[in-house]
Structure 1
Amino acid sequence: MRLAGSLGVAMMMLAGPAATVSAAPEIAAPRNPIVRDKFTADPAPLVVGDTLYLYVGHDEAQRDEMFNMREWMVYSTKDMQHWTDHGPIMNVADFKWAKKDAWASQAIRKNGRYWFYAAVEHDATHPGKAIAVAVSDRPTGPFVDAKGAALITNEMTPKGTHSWEDIDPTVFTDDDGTTWIAWGNRQCYIARLKPNMIEIDGPITEITPPFFEEGPWLHKHGKTYYLTYASLDRRTQRDEHISYATAPSIRGPWTPRGLLTGSGKYSFTIHPGIAEFRGRSWLFLHNADLAVGDQSGAIGRRAVTVYPLHYNADGTMRPVVQDSAAAPAR
């Protein structure tokens, strides 16, 4: 799989609809990483009005460098420069049926409420990873378990050869009001949600694109649907990159478009999150290029970053260069 285009091209933001762009003053991308006083990972942006909320997992520093995540946090901004820390919004212990692990998540607004989907480790009644769903009346929480049980368990996707295939949920509401959820590790699955947002409505379908590893993200720009994800070509790559596919409908067919980024600095994992805010598009991800106190970045000590994202006229996305400081969006 060859990276399309030159990563050395200076990044420029694509103007959206004329009315939107004329109303949005130029804003500069923030200094990276966004959060500097703690380790954060798996960014999931949500735009509500004039505010962008960023949901992240909290990598709690430890010496063995492996993952230690017990809570999810949210930050907000109105200008991409100043970020408000709203603290933890949930702990994995708030799901009584889960035993550990606060892995990747995403929140979505629907019917005036905020729905939060997250990967956890289920207890012995349904061994393996599972997808939980919580709800709140505010984007900053508090969130509570909306179902009292897992939305998706490992038993519902028996094709996978490992117990952690049911992770990294992404949720997307289409123009007709239907909400979809996609998730997975090695295999990528998609399913429709019922209007109550806590049950699957219909079959679970596999849509695994080339080199899919984990971390899918669904969004739409113009008339094109995008499935962006952490990819790993084990023949040539040591660490995860970001790749994507496009489709004319949420139901597919999905056409692979190749790489969007290289790997995150010092990080085996990477996780995309995409949002349009203030008339421009942004790509969030994480690397491990942050030191907090005497703790340096590592596999389980990551840092969330953001970069301007540009769409070409043919609907493809221009490859993104991960600089230490993102260039201004214009």
Structure 2
Amino acid sequence: MNTSFKILFTLKFCLFFQLGYAQNPIIKDFFTADPAPIVYNDVVYLYTSHDTASTTSKNYEMKDWLVFSSTDMVNWEYQGAPVSPKTFSWATGDAYAAHCTERDGKFYFYVSTFHKEDENSKGGAAIGVAVSDSPTGPFVDAIGKALVVNEMTTDNKHGWDDIDPAVFIDDDGQAYIYWGNGSLKWAKLKDNMIEMDGPINYLNPENFIEGPWVYKRKDLYYLLYASKGEKAEQIDYAIATSPEGPWEHKGVIMESVPNSFTVHPGVVTYKGKDYFFYHNGVLPTGGSYRRSICIDYMYYNEDGTIQKVIQTEAGVEAVD
């Protein structure tokens, strides 16, 4: 075996070892953040933010949202960038956290970006909704205007409090949208998924910062969110017997992540297992503005409380 072949063999072996035993982060060709997974027709679709900031940047640069799919939770296929702020004529600025959900064969993509200064808003963060007949797009603006503008919420004075939408549809068909930075807002949605059905409500969960995620398991409702850690965000959760609360704070389920001062939860049950999605900054040249999505297992106690999520490099195993 000559020297060149030995070197090539060694490199291939190392690559195999890394791919086989260091799954996290799961996406290595892009810097991705703010995971929003859904299951549709036995496929997991993962919607993400897309960090494009340079290694010297001191702020976010996020120009579009990406979609990936998997049928085994290990191999992820890139499905494109079907939505960007340019999808919305009223929008400007970056593509912050988003959430997609399916209803009656249509896919509704709720985004947070910024609003142009015009007759509808003086600017600031806003939430829009796009719609498609496919989970991978193409998506178009569903209503031609923002669903939420900064002037609609007045409890916080900063202009970026209307971000990070998360949508939940209960067993009875009632849909809810949750969002916020600095405080948690929520409202009912009409069946058409593009209009609010009632007033905006306000919550102040313990240590809440941003990034809510709401789902139901058995008879309990779960509210997960990015919370205040000692030096960076971590993930707290609360439980309730109704999607409207009252919410009982249950503590921290994941500590701060390496090399990123933000973290964002996403939860999905797939083929009988529970998965917790989050982001960190561990890829080469990564950081708080160049983040990467990871997956680890999620476990519950008999009373429905959540066990601490253990961050690993190995990630999860493939499922059939």
- State if a TM-score over 0.5 links the two structures: yes
Partner of 1:229: 225
How far off is 1:241 after superposition?
Answer: 0.1
Partner of 2:159: 163
- Give the structure with the higher percent helix: 2
How far off is 1:311 after superposition?
Answer: 1.0
Which whole-Å CA distance do the structure 2 matches of 1:231 and 1:110 have between them? 30
Select 1:88's aligned residue among 75, 81, 95.
Answer: 81
- Give the secondary-structure state (helix, strand or coil) at the position aligned to 1:57: strand
Q: Does 2:296 match 1:307?
A: yes
Q: Does 2:312 match 1:323?
A: yes
Which whole-Å CA distance do the structure 2 matches of 1:317 and 1:42 have between them? 21
Q: Which runs of structure 2 are paired with 1:117-132 in the superposition (5 Å)?
A: 117-125=110-118, 126=121, 127-132=123-128
TM-score normalised per structure 1:
0.87
Select 1:259's aligned residue among 252, 262, 275.
Answer: 252
Cα deviation, 1:55-88, whole Å, max 9, x if unaligned, reads 0011013121420001001000001121110110
- Contact 1:284 1:307 (8 Å CA) reproduced: yes
Partner of 1:54: 46
Partner of 1:250: 243
Which whole-Å CA distance do the structure 1 matches of 2:315 and 2:307 have between them? 15
- Give the secondary-structure state (helix, strand or coil) at the position aligned to 1:93: helix
Select 1:278's aligned residue among 254, 257, 271.
Answer: 271
Which whole-Å CA distance do the structure 1 matches of 2:144 and 2:192 have between them? 14
- Contact 2:74 2:318 (8 Å CA) reproduced: no
Which whole-Å CA distance do the structure 1 matches of 2:203 and 2:237 have between them? 12
Which whole-Å CA distance do the structure 2 matches of 1:84 and 1:254 have between them? 37
Q: Does 2:177 match 1:189?
A: no
Structure 2 residue identity aligned to 1:308: Y
Which whole-Å CA distance do the structure 1 matches of 2:141 and 2:22 have between them? 33
Which whole-Å CA distance do the structure 2 matches of 1:83 and 1:290 have between them? 17
Q: Does 2:66 match 1:73?
A: yes
Select 1:209's aligned residue among 205, 212, 225.
Answer: 205
Which whole-Å CA distance do the structure 1 matches of 2:86 and 2:53 have between them? 19
- Give the secondary-structure state (helix, strand or coil) at the position aligned to 1:177: coil
Partner of 1:151: 147
Aligned-pair identity (%): 45
Cα deviation, 1:150-203, whole Å, max 9, x if unaligned, reads 001111110112110000000000010011000000100110001111111101
How far off is 1:99 after superposition?
Answer: 1.1
Larger radius of gyration: 2
- Give the secondary-structure state (helix, strand or coil) at the position aligned to 1:191: strand
Which whole-Å CA distance do the structure 1 matches of 2:161 and 2:265 have between them? 18
How far off is 1:208 after superposition?
Answer: 2.0
- Contact 1:131 1:167 (8 Å CA) reproduced: yes
> What 5-or-longer segments of structure 1 have no aligned partner?
1-27
Q: Does 2:9 match 1:34?
A: no
Structure 2 residue identity aligned to 1:72: W
RMSD: 1.5
Which whole-Å CA distance do the structure 2 matches of 1:220 and 1:327 have between them? 23
- Give the secondary-structure state (helix, strand or coil) at the position aligned to 1:176: coil
- Contact 1:39 1:61 (8 Å CA) reproduced: no
Structure 1 residue runs of 4 or more that deviate by more than 2 Å after TM superposition = 326-330
Q: Which has the higher contact order (CA 8 A, sep 6+)?
A: 1
- Contact 2:53 2:62 (8 Å CA) reproduced: no
- Give the secondary-structure state (helix, strand or coil) at the position aligned to 2:131: strand
Aligned residue-pair number: 296
Select 1:99's aligned residue among 57, 72, 92.
Answer: 92
Structure 1 residue identity aligned to 2:314: A
> What 5-or-longer segments of structure 2 have no aligned partner?
1-19
Structure 2 residue identity aligned to 1:167: I
- Contact 1:191 1:202 (8 Å CA) reproduced: yes
Select 2:35's aligned residue among 29, 40, 43.
Answer: 43
How far off is 1:327 after superposition?
Answer: 5.2
- Contact 1:119 1:168 (8 Å CA) reproduced: yes
Partner of 1:268: 261
- Give the secondary-structure state (helix, strand or coil) at the position aligned to 2:109: strand
How far off is 1:328 after superposition?
Answer: 4.4
TM-score normalised per structure 2:
0.90
